[in-house]
C-alpha cells in the first residue's frame, strides 16, 4: 500500500504514555503509543490539535481513562486491506470488560481456520485503544501479542475491569 496521507496529527500524554494521533478528513486514522510496533514514525501532516477528529478522539479518550467503560463513537478511517478492515471492525464489537480469544474472533468472522491471519491483522491495528485489540487473548486466556507492549495490554484490561 502507498504511504498514507493525513490531514492532521497531534501528540498527547496518557496514563500509559505519550501517543501520536493522525486523522484524515473522514475520521481518525491512527493512534499509536510511542515505541509501539508498526508506528509509522514521522507523519507528514500539519500538527493540529484542533482538527475535529483529533479533538473528538482526545475527548473520548479522556472519558475512557476515568474507568474504562466510556464508549468510542468517533468515525475511523484506518488504512488496511479488506480483510484487515473486517478484523478491525469486529474488534470494535468486543465490549469493554469482555475478552475474546484469537480463535473465537476468527470463528466470529467465519474464518475459523485463519487464526494466524486474524492475529496478524490484529497486530497491524493502527488505532490502539479505540479499536480494542487489547481485548483479544490467547486460547487459555493468556496475555499475548500487543503491539503497544504486554504491560499496556494488562493495564487496559485492568482499567476495564477484566480479571486476569
Catalytic residues: 133
Instruction: Residue 134: count other Cβ atoms within 10 Å of its Cβ.
Output: 27
- List, as own/partner pairs, every contact residues 142-147 make where C-beta atoms lie below 8 angstroms and the sequence separation is at least 24, other chains included: 144/102, 145/119, 147/36, 147/37, 147/38, 147/123
Who contacts 131 (Cβ-Cβ below 8 Å, separation ≥6)? 76, 78, 88, 91, 92, 125
- Cβ contact 5:49 at 8 Å: no
- Cβ contact 19:68 at 8 Å: no
- Cβ contact 117:111 at 8 Å: yes
- Cβ contact 164:158 at 8 Å: yes
Amino acid at each position: 500500500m502507498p504511504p498514507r496521507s493525513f490531514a492532521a496529527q497531534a501528540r498527547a500524554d496518557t496514563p500509559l504514555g505519550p501517543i501520536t494521533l493522525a486523522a484524515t478528513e473522514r475520521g481518525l486514522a491512527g493512534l499509536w503509543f510511542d515505541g509501539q510496533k508498526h508506528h509509522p514514525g514521522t507523519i507528514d501532516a500539519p500538527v493540529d490539535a484542533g482538527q475535529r477528529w483529533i479533538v473528538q478522539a482526545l475527548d473520548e479518550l479522556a472519558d475512557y481513562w476515568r474507568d474504562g467503560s466510556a464508549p468510542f463513537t468517533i468515525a475511523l478511517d484506518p488504512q488496511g486491506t479488506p480483510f484487515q478492515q473486517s478484523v478491525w471492525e469486529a474488534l470494535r464489537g468486543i465490549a469493554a470488560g469482555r475478552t475474546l480469544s484469537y480463535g473465537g474472533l476468527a470463528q466470529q468472522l467465519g474464518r475459523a481456520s485463519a487464526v494466524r491471519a486474524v492475529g496478524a491483522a490484529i497486530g497491524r491495528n493502527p488505532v490502539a485503544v479505540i479499536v480494542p485489540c487489547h481485548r483479544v487473548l490467547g486460547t487459555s486466556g493468556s496475555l499475548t501479542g500487543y503491539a503497544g507492549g504486554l504491560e499496556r495490554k494488562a493495564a487496559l484490561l485492568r482499567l476495564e475491569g477484566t480479571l486476569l
